[in-house]
Amino acid sequence: MTHINAVSFTILVVLFAVVTLVGFAAVRWRRAEDVLHLNEWGLGGRGFGSFITWFLLGGDLYTAYTFIAVPALVYGTGAAGFFALSYTIMVYPIVFVFLPRLWSVARVHGYITPADFIRGRYGSRGLALAVAFTGILAVMPYIALQLVGIQAVLTVMGIGGSATTGFVHDLPLIIAFLILAGYTFVSGLRAPALIAFIKDTLVYVMIIVAIIYIPIRVGGWGHIFSVADTHLKTTNPKTGKPNGSLILEPAGMWAYSTLALGSALALFMYPHTITGVFAAKRRNVIRRNVAALPVYSLVLGLIALLGYMALAAPGVPAEVKAHDANAQLAVPFLFQRIFPSWFAGVGFAAIVIGALVPAAIMAIAAANLFARNVYKEYLRPNASDAEQTRASQWASLVVKLGALLFVLFVKQTYAIQFQLLGGIWIVQTFPAIVAGLYTRWFHRWALVIGWAVAMVFGTIAAYRLPAPGEPGTHFGASADTLPIINHTIYIGLTGLVINLVIAVVLTFVFRVVKLPGGADETRPEHYVADPEPASAEPVPVAAGAADVA
Amino acid sequence: MTHSGPPRRHTGAWVLVTILLLVAVLGTLIVPIYARSSPKLGSFPFFYWYQLLWVPVTALLTTICYLITTRVSRPARHGGGGEAAAAPLGGQPRGGQPLGGPGEAS
């Protein structure tokens, strides 16, 4: 059992209290007249400029995935974990192409969720429901990953997780979770947008200090890489193979690049990232941000190297081993062992707050999907804006509860699998959304069927994969050998190909049999429009465009 | 249509943007390029410093693309707001036609 360090603990609690105050006070920030409109609660008034958007998207994209899951994978397997850097490098050139079109059409029609766009574009409630369902589902393991990150810090600090037993063991996590739920409920997207400033400041300070200070303390980069190399070459008794490798082996290359590409295609399909995009004030803000966001990728790359530093830091591997060999604890233990306790507290706070910000945005985005595309669409068609906002507020609580259950009851060797599982699902909305930004060629039902088959395939394929060296477990990996080409491929990408093939073939078929294609309320010019920010109302660009719905 | 000129005139710019973005993506997608340990930079094996270096390279490439796209689309924007941006496309027929590649997005 770990002794609680009073200094680290106090710093963490104080910073957490500051963030909580800011979170609740955020409701007054850039205050709107009509608070009970989803544009306000769910999109912060759609008025964020380049600067705030950069922090908001940074807070949104770089999460416990970055701080805990990626270094854990690097700690455990070496080079293979670096696919995350490749992923965050290639994501921006990819989304540079289509994201401005999505922003424009959403602004013209007042779309709040990706499913709103699908409904308007394809005139299909079914396809919109499929997209909404996928978004809510995929975000849950991603929020769960944030909670795993918080739990890792609490465990290392000796105030929760595996350090204690019974109900008390999850109490700190539940308290953090309740506070998060509270200010998300009250302030909506304004809370994470404002807290993102604090989060990023902490993260940048933490990583700059870590990247300079830790190598000096543990004996330089040369030593770090050589210790890592030795460790990775050691045979893992559970699998009978080496732990990993310092340089990627040819056998791992296909998995590496398909995991990176699949994750990159998936990232801006997630409802929470699209929420961050829709909250921007002007079209230009999007591309400017896409060009500036890679700064965070550099941070991700450096944080990934913390995995190696943890291997080289005296005492850290032993601590990790003593705690059920939970690689997620590598970075928190590294901080605890190497930093003075006050700065360890700052680092812990950076991780915890870095997990809370995206968790809030994810919950808001999933809740918006529920309010707009399930509640209003199917349950209460006449729901007012205020009623939708209320529904969304409550749904945000339910989504977070789902994520909490995920963490409390699912054991994971590598938390990164949570995110990769979410990616397998969410990337299946790529054809409908991205193709839809350019063409109405695809038939709505072809897209629905392609999506459904790929979702079932992806879920079963992922379920069948055990964690390395732990036969009988499920959802333990995300890349599987593809029979014909005989390479290991990310299941999300295999699913996407199946999805696309079905969608293309069935579109031909449905066009031949003349199945009705559904009405399209968008026009070509809506995809390049850049209306001035208007308060809560969608901006009518073309007369008669809005009355189709 | 008087406005059908601008998009065609900028084809070269869009080809350039496409190439730059493609380079940025392929730089880390093609793993065999960098899955090696030498040449080292200090103690860093090639595998690591190449990918870290690729971050600023990608940022630079996308920034160039951003500057090109804002320059290309500026003439259509001078009236401000959606109507001006919409004008060049206003007369096109609706329907199942592809709406164009990454090209005309401003």
- Write the pLDDT tens digit of every residue in A461-497: 988 888 777 777 777 778 888 877 878 889 999 999 9
Cβ A89 vs Cβ A520: under 8 Å: no
What CA–CA distance (Å, rounded) separates A45 from A388? 15
Q: What is the pLDDT of residues B36-92, one digit of tens each?
A: 888 988 889 999 999 999 999 999 999 999 998 888 775 544 433 433 333 333 333
Sort out which chain B residues have CB atoms less than 8 A from A94's CB and list them. 21, 25
For residue A319, give Cα distances in angstroms to A147, A329, A336, A415: 21, 9, 11, 18
Structure tokens at B13: 């710019």
Mean pLDDT of A200-209: 88
The model's pLDDT over A29-83, given as tens digits with 9 standing for 90+, comes to 777 666 667 778 778 778 888 888 888 888 888 888 888 999 999 998 999 999 9
Is pLDDT larger for residue A238 or for residue A447?
A: A447
**What is the distance in angstroms between the Cα of A429 and the nearest Cα belonging to chain B?**
19
Distance CA A374, CA A368 (A): 9
Q: What integer pLDDT is reported at residue A135 of this predicted model?
A: 93
Give, as one character, the DSSP assignment of residue A537.
Answer: S
Chain B residues with beta carbon closer than 8 angstroms to that of A85: 28, 51-52, 55
Residues of B in contact with A253 (CB under 8 A): 31-32, 35
Residue A513 CB burial class (10 angstroms; 0-12, 13-18, ≥19): exposed
Confidence of residue A534 (pLDDT cuts 50, 70, 90): low
> What pLDDT, on the 0 to 100 scale, is given for residue B103?
40
Whether residue A284 is predicted with pLDDT greater than 50 in this model: the reply is yes
**Whole-angstrom distance, CA of residue A467 vs CA of residue A412:** 8
In the block, residue with structure tokens 């060797």? A413
pLDDT band at A413 (very low <50, low <70, confident <90, very high): low
CB A531 within 8 A of CB A283: no
Q: Greater confidence, A6 or B19? A: B19
Contact A71, A210 (CB under 8 A): no
C-beta atoms of A86 and B25 within 8 A: no
The whole-angstrom separation of Cα A102 and Cα A98 is: 7
Q: Looking at the partner chain, which of B29, B47, B101 has a beta carbon nearest the beta carbon of A257?
A: B29
Instruction: Identify whether the C-beta of residue A40 lies closer than 8 Å to the C-beta of residue A273.
Output: no
**Minimal CA separation from A92 to chain B, in Å:** 8
Q: What residues have CB less than 8 Å from A19, skipping those under 6 apart?
A: A195, A198, A199, A353, A356
Output A49 or A339, whichever has higher pLDDT: A339
Q: How far is B12 from chain A, CA to nearest CA, in Å?
A: 16
Residue A419 clears pLDDT 80, i.e. is over it? yes
User: Would you state the pLDDT for residue A390?
Assistant: 84
Higher pLDDT, B8 or A81: A81
**C-alpha count within 13 angstroms, C-beta hemisphere, residue A21:** 7
Q: Does A381 contact chain B (CB < 8 Å)? A: no
User: In the predicted model, what is the mean pLDDT of residues A107-131?
Assistant: 92
Subunit contact A96:B90, Cβ cutoff 8 A: no
Instruction: Give the pLDDT band of residue A184 (cuts 50, 70, 90).
Output: confident
The mean pLDDT of B4-12, rounded to a whole number, is 60
Q: Do A528 and B32 touch (CB under 8 A)?
A: no
End-to-end CA distance of chain A: 60
> Tokens for B40?
């080292």
Residue pair A60/A358 in contact by the 8 Å Cβ criterion: yes
A235-236 and A479-482: which strand pairing? unpaired
Residue A530: per-residue pLDDT: 84
**One-letter amino acid of A301:** G
Q: What mean pLDDT is predicted for residues A436-449?
A: 93
Alpha helices, H only, A110-247: 114-122, 125-157, 171-187, 190-218, 220-233
Kind plus residue range of the DSSP H or E element containing A70: helix A70-77
Q: Does A259 touch chain B (CB under 8 A)?
A: no
**Tokens representing A39?**
């544009």
Q: Is A241 helix (H, G, I), strand (E, B) or coil?
A: strand
Model pLDDT, residue B8: 53
Higher-confidence position of A79 and A180: A79
> Per the CB < 8 Å rule, is B102 touching A98?
yes
Nearest to A88 by CA among B89, B41, B54, B7: B54
CB proximity list for A403: less than 8 A, separation 6 or greater:
A140, A141, A143, A144, A146, A147, A359, A363
The pair phi, psi for residue A489, each rounded to 5°, is: -125, 145
User: For the whole model, what pTM was predicted?
Assistant: 0.86
pLDDT for B102 equals: 42
- pLDDT interval class at A515 (50, 70, 90): confident
**Distance between CA atoms of A291 and A308, rounded to whole angstroms?**
29
Among A418-422, A441-445, B18-22, the range scoring the smallest mean pLDDT is A418-422
Residue among B24, B31, B81 whose CB faces A256 most closely: B31
Looking at the predicted structure, is the pLDDT value of residue B1 above 50? no
Q: What is the pLDDT of residue A238?
A: 77
Mean pLDDT of chain A: 85
Residue A378's pLDDT is 87
- Distance CA(A305)–CA(B48), nearest Å, equals 9
Which residues, other chains included, contact A460 with Cβ-Cβ below 8 Å and sequence gap of 6+? none
Q: Which amino acid is at A220?
A: G
Crossing angle (nearest 10°) for helices A83-109 and A283-292 = 170
Instruction: Find the range with the poorest average confidence among A25-29, A110-114, A187-191.
Output: A25-29
By three-state DSSP, how is residue A48 classified? strand
Partners of A242 in beta bridges: A235
Contact A539 B82 (CB under 8 A): yes
Assign A410 a pLDDT band (cuts: 50, 70, 90). Answer: low
Q: Place A104 in a pLDDT band, splitting at 50, 70 and 90.
A: very high
pLDDT in tens, A287-330: 888 888 888 898 899 999 999 999 999 888 888 888 888 888 99
Q: Which residue has the tokens 């304004």?
A: A190
With a cut of 90, say whether residue A445 has pLDDT above it.
yes
Q: Do B81 and A530 touch (CB under 8 A)?
A: yes
Spatial CA neighbour of A414 closest among A63, A71, A62: A71
pLDDT band at A3, cuts 50/70/90?
Answer: low
Q: Write down the residue that tokens 């705030």 correspond to.
A: A52
C-alpha A139/C-alpha A149 separation (Å) is: 15
pLDDT at A169: 64
Tell me if chain B has a CB within 8 Å of the CB of A251: no
> Which of A460, A490, A417, A539 lies closest to A144 in space, CA to CA?
A417
Which pLDDT value is given to residue B88? 37
Distance CA A536, CA A544 (A): 19
Average pLDDT for A187-198: 85
**Contact: B54, A531; criterion CB under 8 Å:** no
Rounded to whole angstroms, the Cα distance separating A98 from A535 reads 25
